[in-house]
Structure 1
């Protein structure tokens, strides 16, 4: 067995890099990183940083960069295998024994890189030669500067089926085909894979050419616009990001990495001075590519075209990323204006417009919500329920329990605000509008006054202690000011839902509201023989000496206090009920609701003390703060 990339990843994960470095370099905490003076060059101001989460060190002064293994090689002076053995012993891992087959494969890979290097030199020479004029004109028309063309290694593949074996005669057909440069028909005929295309080298994280991408100059029927090398021993498109070897150093300076749809978009942004950009290679982002991105930054920025295809690509990336999310590990999304790719936007509006979009990306959760909300018409309750089901299905794919609970809460809040918007306020009830329909039951408004039966029912509500304290006072206040019943109708309905004991009182009050009139002498009062408020409760809204405006405001405060506590208690009970399915979210919600309950209780006590003050002067009745 050989030392595979996966084995080295496991080794790095078991070693805390800052602890290793601090054995010989003094480091101090700097946010989520550690900093100190670089051991690789003489400096007085710290520019050397160690990031345990991303498992690398970097010096912004001299450019030194590496992981735990390279630290042991570059700083401790060990050979590679000695460094690996020492770290493995510390991590409690066994070093794999040499595998002759793997060693032979590594040797073959090295030979294949010789092929791709030679092919790249051939393509560059072809672009500069007489046969490359059309390609040079195309690149000049695209606005690519000579410096960018040299940096990205543009070349030209002649439109010749046998150009490659003639130019790279030192390599056999098997090696040319193994490197992805040649292909074979079923009949056995071999031919050049890339013909008549502008060529771009695809490089690994170390900058070595491992594959190619080619673009045709003119659209031709039945010919793919872009063509990439097939997967080979050198190249795995699902594990490779185009331009990674250039974007990684730039990302360490900007703290950002941008992902665009194709390599021509990468070069367009680089041509405009935006260097921290990578692209997948003809496929949607894979899990391995996401891992490469998260090694560079916590929240990569995905930039997609504004058309329907770009939106679908964004959603594919979102669904691929959801199971992998974790604390400080997410994605953000930028969608370009419809019909524009990065090159078009920069040419039409300038680099500043592109930078502005990149500085204001949408969060992953917002993108997920907007995509599912806009996916189908939502004109019926069933369609809205379908939206919620789709959102929760996405949430269930998230592996991290903390992130899952927070996504469930966030998307649930967005859905509730969308599906249950606040109802518009009801028009205030005016007793003079006798011909309009009733505020509660849609029936004609009856003439003012109370029948004997209605008076008896209301007396039953107010007597016998069915509900004492604040509820009794509020009922009495609303019989004194019937016009306020409509104003507080929604709050009283909510009270009836959350406090079943109060439901008969509220329902009776709504029925009687149609027969109450606030204009004397029809208003409910003692002088007319109507039921009086409880004698042991003193509130301003029950005092004949209080002005109507002040009394109604006091009554509104009493209604608010009366309704809030049962509603909070109901919400708390529902939160406790879901504890088994969402312990983290439930616990946080319980804490918030209990704090609100304490606040309401304090307001109730303060309200009771304030209203009890007049009573203390005149009699020895029971204190009004006993309003539960």
Structure 2
């Protein structure tokens, strides 16, 4: 029985693994994760670990996600396990019609198109035609190993070159347009390649499947960075560049006492790649948009306290305020954010190259709680506000806290923000009236 991968992904996201396993296994906290005695083999010392989206027993090797756990523990076939979990989550398993199967086959076909383009572009980067792109990447401090690991490539400056190359594999311009490799006219017909004369960055979903590309032009052309359009495979609002690598790094089992890498959101492709190369393997970035609610949900599925890192300029501060406003209505006990603002004129890439990994590590270690950063951002530039300004600021602070749906958490935020307000702006002026 084939079931839409998108439905299965949503089912896994909506079904807390610890709750399902916790009904069968007595679990105890172990750092950010949980552990207990394995239900699949007899043991007295816990070696069964539960992470946000998978379990692993270091004793017998049992491993899987929430669906495979139900299959193994209850002896159910895949369709029945999915049906049981879907019913508990209030979801309806999609009927596998011929049309649904065609949609799934079509999506796989589009992935094949992207894979064919990736082979062409990654190979071109190392040939004379891609020398400008390779020199650019090496000049930015990337090693050849990093360039290969991330699958970076070069889309030649000859418009129509990719169409000709993919035609040898039987791939039409229409199929290229569906996969996001070509522009379309008002009638939906292909009218030109999207990527040419650019360094290319493969974009993968959280499980590592190729879904789109980004491109960076060399020189002064615009736009400097370009992402593929929305397709059946690619939704900018739901994906983060580098998430597949960061997710694996954050979730990987580690020796006792060794901390997992921080999950850090930065602003661009090169920031992510430079940080990974420097050892910060939890780095991800949005895809040309401000951080969305969907992306926050994805982050919290990986780690309960990710760090948002913004460039140290006016645009970075505005982005931090917008991200805070997006996050507040989604906060709940046990899920929040830390934020850090880089020094003026710096971005993570320049920090790594100019100041070194230790300086970046210190910056991430000193990331501040959301409430503190929110207060600092909302009060920026205020030194001696008058009564009217103080009243307006106090209203902004209470309104920000009121965005949080969890009443207890909203009350804590209100108290924290107002305590800082009175400490900073009231001083010895008396009470809170």
User: Which TM bucket (shorter chain)?
Assistant: 0.7 to 0.9
Shift of 1:184: 2.9
The answer on whether the counterparts of 1:210 and 1:234 sit within 8 Å (CA) in structure 2 is yes
1:12 touches 1:68 (CA, 8 Å); kept in 2?
no
1:254-273 pair list within 5 angstroms: 254=260, 256-273=262-279
CA deviation profile, 1:346-365 (whole Å, cap 9, x unmatched): 11211000001111111101
C-alpha spacing 1:366/1:214, structure 2 compared with 1 (3 Å): same
Residue among 258, 265, 285 paired with 1:279: 285
Residue 153 of structure 2 aligns with which residue?
155
Q: Deviations over 1:292-323 (max 9, x none)?
A: 11111111101111111111111111100000
SS of the equivalent of 2:378 reads: helix
In 2: Cα distance, 1:406 partner to 1:328 partner: 13
Contact 2:15 2:66 in 1 (8 A): no
1: CA distance, partners of 2:243 / 2:42: 30
CA distance in 1, matches of 2:75, 2:112: 29
Judge conservation of contact 2:246–2:284 (CA < 8 Å) in 1. yes
2:197 paired with 1:196? yes
Match of 2:109 among 111, 115, 127: 111
What is the rounded CA distance, in whole Å, between the counterparts of 2:61 and 2:356 in structure 1?
A: 31
Q: How does 1:233-382 map to 2 (within 5 A)?
A: 233-253=232-252, 254=260, 256-374=262-380, 378-382=384-388
Aligned partners of 2:384 and 2:425 also within 8 Å: no
Query: TM-score of the superposition, structure 2-length normalised?
Result: 0.88
Contact 1:33 1:49 in 2 (8 A): yes
Q: CA deviation at 1:100?
A: 3.5
Instruction: Report the CA distance shift for 1:275/1:117 in structure 2 as closer, same or farther (over 3 A).
Output: same
Which protein is richer in helix relative to its size? 1
Correspondence list, 1:67-82, <5 A: 67-73=65-71, 79-82=77-80
Match of 1:171 in 2: 171
Q: Which residue of 1 aligns with 2:256?
A: none
Per-residue Cα deviation, 1:109-148 (whole angstroms, up to 9, x for no partner): 1110000111100101111222011111111111111211
Partner SS for 1:374: coil
Q: 1:322 to 1:89 in 2, by over 3 A?
A: closer
CA displacement at 1:27 relative to structure 2: 4.7
- Rg bigger for which structure? 1
1:19 Cα deviation (Å)?
4.9
Distance in 2 (CA, whole Å) between partners of 1:346 and 1:41 is 46
What does residue 83 of structure 1 align with? 81
Residue 34 of structure 2: aligned partner: 34
Taking the aligned partners of 2:219 and 2:59, their CA distance within structure 1 comes to: 46
Alignment correspondent of 1:215: 216
Cα 1:403/1:90, change in 2 over 3 Å: closer
Matched-pair contact (CA < 8 Å) for 1:377–1:383:
no
Specify the alignment match of 1:415 in structure 2: 421
Q: Aligned to 2:54, which of 49, 56, 80? A: 56
Q: Deviations over 1:258-296 (max 9, x none)?
A: 111111100010111110111110001111100011111
CA RMSD between the two structures: 3.1
Cα 1:422–1:22 shift into 2, 3 Å:
closer
Quote the offset at 1:381 in angstroms: 1.4
CA distance in 1 between counterparts of 2:311 and 2:91 reads: 46
Deviation, structure 1 residue 72: 3.6
Contact 1:302 1:333 in 2 (8 A): yes
Q: Which moved more, 1:411-420 or 1:300-309?
A: 411-420
Shift of 1:13: 4.4
Name the structure where strand makes up a greater proportion of residues. Answer: 2
* In 2, Cα distance between equivalents of 1:217 and 1:38: 54
Count of aligned positions: 421
Identify the residue that residue 597 of structure 1 maps to in structure 2.
none
- Return the offset for 1:97: 2.7
TM-score, structure 1 normalization:
0.62
CA contact (8 A) 1:27 1:34 kept: no
Question: What SS class does the counterpart of residue 237 from structure 1 fall into?
Answer: coil
Decide which moves more: 173-182 or 87-96.
87-96
- Alpha carbons of structure 1 residues 249 and 15: separation in structure 2 relative to 1, 3 Å: closer
